[in-house]
Chain A
Amino acid sequence: MKRLLNIEWNKIFYYKSARIFTILYFLMLAAVGVILAYIKPEIGGIELDIAQLGFFNFPDIWQNIAYVVAIGKIFLGVIVIMNVTNEFSNGTLKQNLIDGLSKKEFLQSKILTNFIFAAVSTVFVFAISLILGFIFSNSQDAVFKGIDFIGAYFIKLSFFFSFCLFLALLLKKSAFSLLGLFVWWVVEGIISVVEVLIIMARNNGNIDPEGFFISNFLPLKSSANLINFPTMDPQGFITGKSIFVSSSVDWVFVVSSVFYTALFIWLSYRLLKKRDL
């Protein structure tokens, strides 16, 4: 394993674009923390201070920060994709195999990288949330109560990178892989809308937003459902407390996301094994 990591380290660390994007990504994570905490935009003459809204309160902060920074995963996703598609365009995948790396080892090295990216990113988000929480939270009780969202963040990133890895192996070109990601996202959206329309047609136009939707278990949607948009209740604001309602990670989506992570890794292996390079 150390050998595979050494190989990957040489491939990525000295690749300027990957290094820049990685640094940018972590700077961005830090910047999000700073911006959320210290930039207070005025909307209609009222200063919007999200700290006042209870954004940084334990335990809600874990979900809030994890939700906000999750969009940044696309940065690392691009690196994951480039890291694989470059191996095709440089012909180095073929050369690696000829030199005696097995297809399995090649894939292992990429998956290891994915998990390391996910882990480092998770630790970073954990640290940011913890620091901001200690500075701004109005209560220091129940600090680690919502910590399950940090675990969910790790699963979410691991799934996303495995999916990117699969797309990159399938499509071989970074532009096509990113396009593939976008198309997949759109298709999932369309399926969701169609499902909603069908249910509404059956129930005379009524729908229960909390009800069961098959489309919630599509790959990207199920990973999105790991960390939902924080629930808010204006009542909390009026009473001067927090408008955020504490929630926890739905284990059903943990299971489905882990399943999809394994599925895409398995599909990647099959694809690589069968392909003539």
Chain B
Amino acid sequence: MEKVLEIGHLTKKFGRMTAVDDLSFSVEKGNIYGLLGPNGSGKSTTLGIILNVVNPTIGSWKWFGEEPTTNSLKKIGAIIERPNFYPYLSAEKNLEIVAQIKGAEKHKIDEKLKLVGLLDRKHDKFRTFSLGMKQRLAIGAALLNDPEVLILDEPTNGLDPQGIIQIRELILQIASMGTTIILASHLLDEVEKVCSHVVILEKGKTLYSGRVDEMTAGFGYFEISSGDNHRLQEVLLSLPHFDRVSSENGNGLLKAILKEDLNGEALNKQLFEQGIVLKHLVKRKESLEQQFLQITKNQNG
């Protein structure tokens, strides 16, 4: 898989506060990535760094396998926090400035305005737009150069339900054209509905990184190890209880994701019958979804 973005050991400190703490993840072409975390978890800072507006304390990142330059930014479309435009300029003039910066063709302006449903308002001043329209204009602006990657930070924040649906449909429509999307959100529901992959952040640290469908596995998973993890993995896969077994964590523990209910005692018995003695066996009943809700609940309370 072609890597669009690779982030390596990124750290950003604001005074004594660490906003992003040794963050590493990569983004593969053609997927929709969610950057999920409560407010203040470092999502916007991370996006700010990879978009050249925030200077990292340490760490590096690569766009399209190259060191980042302003030219790589021209292959990216991004909106951060809120739609930022010149309020006194019309939609068309605003997009003209963006096109001049990105070096995009002028005729793209009408095309993108049409895509986001604002063509008939192109001569109206930005300040007369509703929030939903402003957000759509921002998406249109981000798409002007037909970017390979679209970055959206809380794109549905503050929108009414109709506006939210419009934006989500638009995102899926853009993704279906093959654009890689990175979507930052504090809404689990939004990430589940839109994204294929997710990176969960808490206080600047990665809590989970992987596929969304794994995250929401309903039966929990086992953390497990024995003297011979290779053999253990084979045996686990031969059992009918598991969806997948992975050793991704790098801590010597296998992660066996359940597809049906099974308790630790029963698993231990079965493995012992197969001649495997376990060193470590923990069942994580709590799914990541619940963990995430716990985090956000603590935040809000």
Contacts and interface: CB of A to CB of B under 8 A. Distances in A.
Given A98-B52, A276-B48, A7 B101 contact: yes
Which has the most chain B C-beta neighbours within 10 Å: A3, A14, A100? A100
A96 B74 CA distance: 11
Size band of the interface chain A makes with B:
20 to 34
B55 interface: yes
A94 B98 CA distance: 12
A180 to B, nearest CB: 24
B45 to A, nearest CB: 9
A102 B74 CA distance: 11
B84 interface: yes
Binding site secondary structure of chain A: helix
Given A7-B101, A10-B100, A14-B89, A94 B53 contact: yes
A102 to B, nearest CB: 5
Contacts of A91: 81-82, 84
B93 A94 contact: no
Given A101-B70, A276-B48, A277-B54, A95 B100 contact: no
Nearest to B56: A276
B124 to A, nearest CB: 13
Given A92-B85, A276-B48, A277-B54, A11 B97 contact: yes
B102 interface: yes
B55 A276 contact: yes
Interface string B92-105: 01001110111100
Interface in A42-93: 86, 90-92
A95 B85 contact: yes
B272 interface: no
Given A98-B73, A99-B98, A10 B93 contact: yes
B96 A100 contact: no
B86 interface: yes
Interface in B41-80: 48, 51-55, 70-71, 73-74, 76, 78-80
Contacts of B81: 91
A156 B240 CA distance: 83
A91 B82 CA distance: 8
A251 interface: no
A14 B93 contact: yes
A100 B102 contact: yes
B101 A99 contact: yes
Interface residues of B, number: 32
A100 B71 contact: yes
A276 B101 CA distance: 20
Contacts of B76: 100
A15 interface: yes
B85 A90 contact: yes
B49 to A, nearest CB: 9
B153 to A, nearest CB: 10
A95 B89 contact: no
Interface in B269-299: none
A169 to B, nearest CB: 15
Which has the most chain B C-beta neighbours within 10 Å: A90, A97, A98, A276? A98
Contacts of A98: 51-53, 73, 78-80
Contacts of B103: 3, 100
Contacts of A11: 86, 97
Contacts of B14: 276
A101 B101 contact: yes
Nearest to A14: B89
A102 B55 CA distance: 13
B134 to A, nearest CB: 11
A99 B53 contact: no
Interface string B219-246: 0000000000000000000000000000
A16 B86 CA distance: 12
B87 interface: yes
Interface of A: 3, 6-7, 10-11, 14-16, 86, 90-92, 94-102, 105, 274, 276-277
Given A3-B100, A90-B87, A91-B81, 7 more contacts: A91-B82, A97-B51, A99-B141, A100-B71, A100-B103, A105-B70, A276-B55
Interface of B: 14, 48, 51-55, 70-71, 73-74, 76, 78-82, 84-89, 93, 96-98, 100-103, 141
21 contacts: A3-B103, A6-B100, A14-B89, A90-B87, A91-B84, A92-B84, A92-B86, A94-B53, A94-B80, A97-B52, A98-B51, A98-B53, A98-B78, A98-B79, A99-B98, A99-B141, A100-B71, A100-B101, A100-B102, A105-B70, A276-B48
